[in-house]
Amino acid sequence: MAHPKHKTSKQRRNKRRTHYKAVAPTLSKCSNCGSAIQYHHVCPECGFYRGKLAIEKEVSA
């Protein structure tokens, strides 16, 4: 196993960890009901995906 000869500085350590970036997911409008949905996901409001019914939603009385 390799042993470090010098202490790794905070700046060098943090430079190595900069590849992760927290970004908000890209949103689009549902073609059926118009609510905001995430790409490649079933609409949580109406249950449609790419213009077809994917999940049967229960109607609240």
Q: What is the pLDDT of residues 1-13, one digit of tens each?
A: 789 999 999 999 9
Q: Does residue 45 form part of some domain?
A: yes
pLDDT at 39 over 90: yes
Structural domain including 54 reads 30-61
Q: Does residue 60 form part of some domain?
A: yes
In the chain, the number of structural domains is 1
Provide the pLDDT for residue 60. 65
Sign of CA dihedral 19, 20, 24, 29: positive
pTM: 0.56
pLDDT at 31 over 70: yes
Please tell me what DSSP assigns to residue 11: H
Q: Does residue 61 form part of some domain?
A: yes
Q: Does residue 56 form part of some domain?
A: yes
